[in-house]
Amino acid sequence: LLQGDPLPVKVRNLTSDKTEDSYFYYYLPYCLPRNVLDHVNQSAIVRKDLIKSSPYEFKMLEPQMCNVVCRTTLSSKDAKEFKEKIDFGYRVNMILDDHPLFNPYNRSRRCSLGYHRGFPVGMKILSAEKMEHKYFINNHLTFTIKYYKDEKTDAARVVRFEVKPLSVKHKYEGEWSDKLNLTNCDSLAKYSGTGNDSLQDVEDEKEIIFTYDVEFQESEITWDSGWDSLFCSVDSHNIHWASIFHSALLSFIFTTILLWCMEPKINSDISKFDAWETQEEGAAATEEENEWIVRGDAFRPPANSDLLCVFAGTGVQCFGMVLVTMVSAALGFISPSNRTGLMTKLLFLWVFMGIFAGYVSASLYKRFKATRWKKITLMTSFPGIVFIILFILSAPSWEEESWGAVPFGNMFALVLLWLGIFVSLVSVGSYVGFEKPAIKDLPSANRIPREIPKQSWFMNPVFTILIGGMFPFGVVSVELFFIITSKWLDQFYCILGFLFLVFIFLVIICAQMTIIFCYNQLRGEDYLWWWRSFLNSGSSGLYLFLYVAFYFTKMNGAKPVSGVLYFGYLLIASFTFFLLTGTVGFFACFLFTRHLYSSLKID
């Protein structure tokens, strides 16, 4: 940008770290521009982010001092709304040249600057005289725009957008006019007066004048590195490395069990079975010793097999989306500054991965000798749980004019996207998967199911499912804490390299743990491993739900609508994690079982 080029400031929704409710910027009686323009796309809708034009008008490298935006008089309703938003700690969010607004503050323990996204609507101070809180609004904004100047082209690029909010009771002489100079503004936009009397209080019929300053500071920070100090803190890297070490240690333990304990036992069992099957001379094995093989029942179709196929197909869809996103993030293709681009990519990946969901669900469905592939296509392509939850969440939020849920019109647009593209891709994948020849190298099921003997207490389904979910959750718990903290404080999570490593260990441990449980289950002559393998690792979604639900206790005085939104979106996230981890465990057990029985010499 060159000197004098316009710098439009855009406003975003009001957010709070005490509640999941967010509101339009103009829900409060802030100053309106001449024309309120929408700057929103489908990805912004998904992440509940409404962007509109603002009355703040900047020009590159042209400072401004004590500019008046507007003057307004609060009604009783306006004053009540401002006080409520101040009580809940709502913050105003803005964007300049795709850079979010930050409010710097001093971190006393670290002797360095920290950054909050946006600035608070106001503050409340306890009055010593009346022993009650008085509310003050931040009506003056001192903006600081830091830029990096290219010496070759003499052009400048914004690298940081900061603000210092102030509450100022402006004064003027005579009757009000747009060209009137405020008496408490000097040439440097400093204000006279100290104490609460100089602050702009929020009361019925109070006059409020909104003003702002703009200053430009040249910086040596380049655009690509300007985000590091805002989002990434090297102080926490030791914690992340400790988490990686913990995951690697857990994976090493499981690997040791598989290679040193289970593999020799499996090879011995297979040799004994082959000796018994071929009636080799000197074979010591008997039929009773090999009953754990349960070869005639191991691949018997499970109960509710169509639902298992849908879960497995949708889990592959989630896995593919997360994998591509993680690889892109690790390679630096995802920037924390471009949330809109990130959400667009995620939405595109989710829709595109529908073809793999259809293929996997139909292939598995055909393996169970089912023939109604159109039924499984419709079940896979209908994200019923998600849509039902979204509608339930949106109803009370529409009534309260909250932006915490997807607006009705925008949800209708998402439905059209689902019907027009996603269903078609799932149908194509299902058709290809069903036309593919079924797997033929597996033993067929006996006509009469054999009786399952009583299992040991440690192989009880409830026990293995609850214990199995603890290991995958333990792998992600540390990174989950940082992700929740970033979301809670409306900040960015940018340590994507660590997250990718954790994802790799999550997949490995889900697979290893499920194989260990699956093998011991077969040795106990329990052939109902289909759903067990899915639930053993998928139960980590339950732990994720309970862990994040604990954070709701920090929402002091949260509205019922906030609780509904919080637990609704948490339910969607936990169910997605359940599908992802459950699918990894299921296919690990399926491939292991298939390899095990294909190694046997069965006539």
What is the rounded distance in angstroms from the CA atom of residue 512 to the CA atom of residue 468? 11
What is the rounded distance in angstroms from the CA atom of residue 518 to the CA atom of residue 102? 51
Answer whether residue 440 shows pLDDT above 60: yes
Number of domains composing the chain: 2
Answer whether residue 499 shows pLDDT above 60: yes
Instruction: Give the SS3 label for residue 117.
Output: strand
Question: Is 286 a member of any domain?
Answer: no
* Mean pLDDT on 370-385: 77
Angle at Cα 120 formed by Cα 119 and Cα 125, nearest 5°? 140
* Mean pLDDT on 388-402: 62
What is the rounded distance in angstroms from the CA atom of residue 250 to the CA atom of residue 256? 10
Confidence of residue 281 (pLDDT cuts 50, 70, 90): very low
Angle at Cα 14 formed by Cα 9 and Cα 15, nearest 5°? 125
Question: Is 416 a member of any domain?
Answer: yes
**Residue 237's beta-bridge partner residues?**
none
pLDDT above 90 covers a percentage of the chain that reads 28
CA dihedral (316, 317, 322, 328) positive or negative: positive
Answer whether residue 333 shows pLDDT above 80: no
Question: Are 138 and 219 in the same domain?
Answer: yes
**Residue 330 C-alpha from the chain's centroid:** 17
Range of weakest confidence among 103-107, 208-212, 274-278: 274-278
Question: Is 264 a member of any domain?
Answer: no
Question: Is 278 a member of any domain?
Answer: no
Range of the structural domain that residue 217 is part of: 5-172+184-231
Look at 36 and 252; give whichever has higher pLDDT: 252
Answer whether residue 441 shows pLDDT above 70: no
Question: Is 290 a member of any domain?
Answer: no
Q: For the segment 209-252, what is each residue's pLDDT rounded down to a tens digit?
A: 999 999 999 988 776 666 655 555 444 566 777 778 888 888 88
Question: Is 241 a member of any domain?
Answer: no
Question: Are 12 and 142 in the same domain?
Answer: yes
C-alpha torsion 502→507→511→517, nearest 10: 50
Query: Are 149 and 1 a contacting pair, CB within 8 Å?
Result: no
* Mean pLDDT on 79-84: 93
* Mean pLDDT on 255-270: 77
For the ranges 16-25, 233-242, 263-272, 497-506, the maximum mean pLDDT occurs at 497-506
* Mean pLDDT on 51-62: 90
Residue 83, pLDDT score? 94
Question: Are 227 and 348 in the same domain?
Answer: no
- Which among 174, 178, 187, 188 has a CA at the least distance from the CA of 210? 178
Question: Is 443 a member of any domain?
Answer: no
Question: Are 38 and 153 in the same domain?
Answer: yes
Question: Are 482 and 377 in the same domain?
Answer: yes
DSSP structural state of residue 419 = I
Answer whether residue 275 shows pLDDT above 70: no
pLDDT above 70 covers a percentage of the chain that reads 75
Query: Are 362 and 429 a contacting pair, CB within 8 Å?
Result: yes
Residue 393, pLDDT score? 67
* Mean pLDDT on 451-479: 88
* Mean pLDDT on 387-403: 62
State the SS3 of 447-504: CCCCCCCCCCHHHCHHHHHHHHHHHHHHHHHHHHHHHHHHHHCCCCCCCHHHHHHHHH
What is the rounded distance in angstroms from the CA atom of residue 357 to the CA atom of residue 351? 10
Q: Two tokens at 459? A: 């192989």
Burial class (CB in 10 A: 0-12, 13-18, 19+), 35: exposed
* Mean pLDDT on 334-340: 60
Residue 258: left if φ>0, alpha if ψ -120 to 50, beta else—which one?
alpha
Question: Are 482 and 564 in the same domain?
Answer: yes
Residue 56, pLDDT score? 93
Residue 36, pLDDT score? 78
Confidence of residue 283 (pLDDT cuts 50, 70, 90): very low
Residue 345, pLDDT score? 76
Residues in the chain: 603
Q: Give the pTM.
A: 0.74
Look at 494 and 80; give whichever has higher pLDDT: 80
For the ranges 98-102, 133-137, 273-277, the maximum mean pLDDT occurs at 133-137
Residue 273, pLDDT score? 61
- Which among 249, 252, 314, 246 has a CA at the least distance from the CA of 538? 314
Question: Is 200 a member of any domain?
Answer: yes
**Residue 157 C-alpha from the chain's centroid:** 30
Instruction: Give the SS3 label for residue 154.
Output: coil
What is the rounded distance in angstroms from the CA atom of residue 370 to the CA atom of residue 358? 15
Name 132's Cβ contacts closer than 8 Å, sequence gap at least 6: 126
Angle at Cα 235 formed by Cα 548 and Cα 544, nearest 5°? 15
